[in-house]
Amino acid sequence: DADVTQTPRNRITKTGKRIMLECSQTKGHDRMYWYRQDPGLGLRLIYYSFDVKDINKGEISDGYSVSRQAQAKFSLSLESAIPNQTALYFCATSDLNGGDIQYFGAGTRLSVL
């Protein structure tokens, strides 16, 4: 969905480096999410935020941190990347008034060498 933009689309980095993945949305939604996708495991929730002052850990938050800079921006950071964080990362947004349906960005493919 073009209304949810993730940058970069692809990134290769080395073990130990700090990486930030960014997500911005023009849908006006309050709620934003970060997922990672691994083959055979589906999508797993890393962090979610229901508004600018609300940040919550998801199923697999260890090794990650997030920042909700504004209603429209939600960044995911890997403070010290490790190879098993190689995955496809998705940002999503939703609006409680819209039935909380989640809309996804196109994803960021991250490789940690």
Interface with another protein (CB under 8 A): 1, 4, 31, 33, 35, 40-45, 48, 50, 58, 90, 92, 94, 96, 99-107
Long-range contact set of residues 63-69: C-beta below 8 Å, sequence gap at least 24: 64/34, 66/34, 68/32
Task: List the structure tokens of 112.
Answer: 């940690």
Of the two residues 82 and 96, which places its CB atom closer to another protein in the complex?
Answer: 96
Given the complex with another protein, which of 45 and 52 has the nearer CB atom? 45
CB 13 within 8 A of CB 81: yes
Q: Provide the minimum distance between the beta carbon of 84 and another protein in the complex, in angstroms, as a whole number.
A: 18
**Least distance in Å: CB of 58 to another protein?**
7
Paired strand residues for 22: 7
Which of residues 104 and 111 has its CB atom nearest to another protein in the complex?
A: 104
Q: Distance from first CA to last CA of the chain, Å, rounded? A: 29
